[in-house]
Amino acid sequence: MQAERTLIVDAEAIATIVAKVGLGQLYDLTIARLETVGGPDAPVEMKQRDGFLIESPQLGLLEWMPALRHGATVSMKMVGYNPHNPVKNQLPTILSTLCAFDADNGHLRTVVDGTFPTAVRTGAASALASRVLARPDSSVLGLVGCGAQSVTQLHALSRVFTFSEILVCDKDVRAENSFAARSRLPEGAVRIAPLAEVEERADVLCTATSVAPHEGPVIRGTALKPWVHINAIGSDMPGKTELPLELLRKAVVCPDHVAQARAEGDCQQLTPEEIGRPLAELLQDPEAHERLSPVTTVYDSTGLALQDLVMVEVFEELARDLGVGHRIAIEATADDPQDPYSFLPGAVTRSWDGQPGARR
């Protein structure tokens, strides 16, 4: 029996899915799925990501992120991080591909673009963390960094909070000026402000920058509201941090994954004793915010393979339900699993010149 063909969910298929489901509903679905994936009874596990640090000719990363849902799916994301991409190559800083393998037989079941789902799930994870750690009446959102990730931070957080003001700043004036249009917001909904004002007025603050290793922090952190919640999402490699050490030490710091955040996130700056409970534990504790308020809180987001497992399953499910994407035969299999040539045309195997004495 031949293996099932592999489902390809490419950019065109994802665009169709979003058009039919709705962008807001997609964020709601992602937030709901992420909320349950890391629970203590969830039949999932993951390996810490690994990869190659590329230091020349320009700084970059190529990483793989594996996760397993027992009895169902092994997911693998290949992700490239190249901060020079927008200017040099007219490509996003983060490019990735998601693969879903059948956990029972190893069949490559689905291949999905990972660039869009990664941006969505990163925003959705911040929304989950902010729902637990930020004040429910938070009304001012501050965004430090106006790249692609900040767009999805804004959209995901807006599914959880009603913001009366959105303040943004970036060292790149072009990114500042184009942010409202890229966020599909009407004129006047976003205001460009000096960094000092963004820090002073934000109830929820997101740092989403491409700061180079050892060149942070990107905020001063000395004039924040006492109850501010910060989603730090830009730290994702050794030496790269966004927040001042003094701020981290006085805040309750909630990482997405302790070991990974200590290796690549803002938690690189802290000792184990200075790091709070990971997000998965806080999500199981509905009264966590009441006990923490009104202290400063930080979600140290480094990105999890379990989140990517959720995304490949979500888009696989939606593609099948909506009948989008296309299927191709990648694996060389046929009727006889013990015959490595069974998928080849007979004429090919009959023409083999490897009989004894035929070598020249």
Question: DSSP 3-state assignment of 26?
Answer: helix
* CA–CA distance, 251 with 228 (Å, rounded to integer): 10
- Tokens representing 91 are 């490509």
Q: Side by side, which strands form the sheet with 204-207? A: 191-192, 165-169, 140-144, 204-207, 229-232, 297-300, 252-255
Question: What letter represents residue 88's amino acid?
Answer: K
Q: For the beta carbon of residue 164, count every other beta carbon within 10 angstroms.
A: 9
Residue 160 contacts residue 127 (beta carbons within 8 Å): yes
Of the candidates 266, 196, 267, the residue with the CA atom closest to the CA atom of residue 234: 266
Which of 77, 171, 240, 250 is catalytic? The answer is 77
Output phi, psi for 197, to 5 deg.
-70, -40
* CA–CA distance, 8 with 112 (Å, rounded to integer): 6
Contacts of 46 (CB under 8 A, 6+ apart): 65, 66, 67, 68, 304, 305, 306, 309
Q: How does 69-95 read in b/e, with b if 16+ C-beta sit within 10 Å?
A: beebbbbbbebbbbbebbeeeeebbbb
Asked if 77 is an active-site residue, the reply is yes
Write out the catalytic residue numbers.
77
